[in-house]
Structure 1
């Protein structure tokens, strides 16, 4: 994967921690390049479905961002909302339905998907998994252990306690991103030299995955990115659909972008000569 001259700023050689899940942190074709994440498969009409994932992979995406929830009978289902109403032809809470019931529902004409089935269907893909309920942690850990998928998944959650619980359930390291407590402390304490006090907390995460801003508080600013890199952490930004904003963030030095517009991000990465990423 050659680096053509694009007039853009060269990628900086950050002192990344080596994390197998983050293929840009280890020697290889994507070393020190930004990563592209297909948010819920980056196909809003068919979000979190096999059809969306297949389209993203066919376009060149290696990273699929997904959400998982637990069904009434303990199956880990790829689904974002707490209720079925917005995206499916069903109603009620996901947690109140068995997998047999959920499997009959459709999202944009496509069936719902179990996490285990997606892992098996896309053996070369890496899954960025948002654990949406407490019960999902145990089921996620069991599937990862049984399939030996430790290096193919990252556990994300706004709830730091779920990340701590996962660490106790797996036999070897699974990548994680920081929850709101960790990120909030970095945003608020970082400008005042507070990272020293956060060192133990930061040592337990592998990256931060953040919006450009939270409410009226800007998050992804040059100093924030610099502080994260100084701590050995990658910065992944969600959800970005505008190509100009993608370029701005990449020039700022962010290490990954999550998008709902697969074609737009693929075009930006191609312009920067880091596409496809399914290598």
Structure 2
């Protein structure tokens, strides 16, 4: 068992800090959002990682600054001295991964590495902060997942990469993975990703299944009834209410 997954009951994870909580709209992946999730009692927060041109790792989803900040440009092409001037929703600075780890020492973070140039800088920060046991690293890219595993070793909890998810879904007889958990949507377009068979096979291998991004209370109840191990949500207020109703909310 990875220390990251040592938790009583279903894992409730704040996606980008709870991007659609009424108090967070416009402030995804900001210290404001992370503080709000921690204040609700969330023990797990999901965030995304990019590295600047000079290798500084920031908690930010998009490749570009344009959508959620008052600046423009591709993060990987800009130095930190420029990225640090951008403000989320015109007010909040973009957090450094190092600052997030230091400010929330009791929180476990799910880290989605969004670009190839972020893998080794992120590994360096995690080593420097002795944070390997309280993070799970995931990525849409199987190559990034494989690389971070090589960089940080077997102690690190990782999500399945896309190739591993497909193998477990369609060719389980070939399944070998160091991944600790599957972090998947219920549907990807018209394709149903989460099936009873996939959930059963994952559990047979001792792997947890976390479903994203679930913002509807009825869907939360349905997925928890089906036996998933965690839900990743933008509506941190609603998931908290659902888990309280079910007697499954574990406050930090």
Query: TM-score, structure 2 length as denominator?
Result: 0.94
Q: 2:67 corresponds to which residue? A: 86
Q: Please tell me whether the aligned partners of residues 221 and 242 of structure 2 are also in contact (alpha carbons under 8 angstroms).
A: yes
* C-alpha deviation, 1:37, in angstroms: 0.5
Q: 1:172 Cα deviation (Å)?
A: 5.3
Judged with a 3 Å threshold, the aligned counterparts in structure 2 of structure 1 residues 163 and 60 are, in CA distance, closer, same or farther, namely: same
Which position in structure 2 is the counterpart of 1:113? 95
**Cross-structure match for 1:20:** 3
Name the CA distance, whole Å, in 2 between partners of 1:180 and 1:79. Answer: 21
Cα distance in structure 2, aligned partners of 1:120 and 1:62: 15
The structural deviation recorded for 1:233 is: 0.7
Structure 2 regions of 5+ residues with no counterpart? 20-24
Paired residue for 1:180? 162
* Offset of residue 276 of structure 1: 3.6
1:68 equivalent in structure 2: 49
* Cα distance in 2 for residues equivalent to 1:197 and 1:106: 46
Kindly indicate whether the alpha-carbon contact (under 8 Å) linking 2:167 and 2:174 is maintained by their aligned counterparts in 1.
Answer: no
Structure-1 residue corresponding to 2:200: 226
Contact 1:145 1:171 (C-alpha < 8 Å) held by counterparts? no
The aligned runs of 1:36-185 (5 Å cut-off) are: 36-43=12-19, 44-108=25-89, 109-170=91-152, 173-185=155-167
Aligned to 1:269: 243
Secondary structure at 1:21 match in 2: helix
Within 5 Å, which residues of 2 pair with 1:1-16? none
Deviations 1:214-269 (A, max 9, x none): 12111112222111101111000000100010000000000000001110011011
CA distance in 1, matches of 2:251, 2:170: 34
Q: What is the CA deviation profile of residues 67-122 of structure 1, one whole-angstrom value per residue up to 9, with x for unaligned ones?
A: 00011111001111111111111111111222121121111221100101000000
Residue 15 (structure 1) aligns with:
none
User: In 2, Cα distance between the equivalents of 1:50 and 1:139?
Assistant: 21
Looking at structure 1, the residues matched to 138 and 121 of structure 2 have their Cα atoms a distance apart, in angstroms, of: 14
- Paired with 1:171 and 1:243, the residues of 2 have a C-alpha distance of 37
Are the counterparts in 1 of residues 208 and 228 from structure 2 also a CA contact under 8 Å? Answer: yes
Taking the aligned partners of 1:226 and 1:171, their CA distance within structure 2 comes to 27
More displaced 10-residue stretch of structure 1: 61-70 or 222-231:
222-231
Alignment partners' CA distance in 2, 1:47 and 1:164 = 27
Q: Is the 8 A contact 1:37 1:62 kept in 2?
A: yes
Structure 1, unaligned stretches of length 5 or more? 1-17, 25-29, 190-194
Which of structures 1 and 2 has the bigger CA Rg? 1
Contact persistence 1:61–1:277 (CA under 8 A): yes
Q: 1:171 to 1:211 in 2, by over 3 A?
A: closer
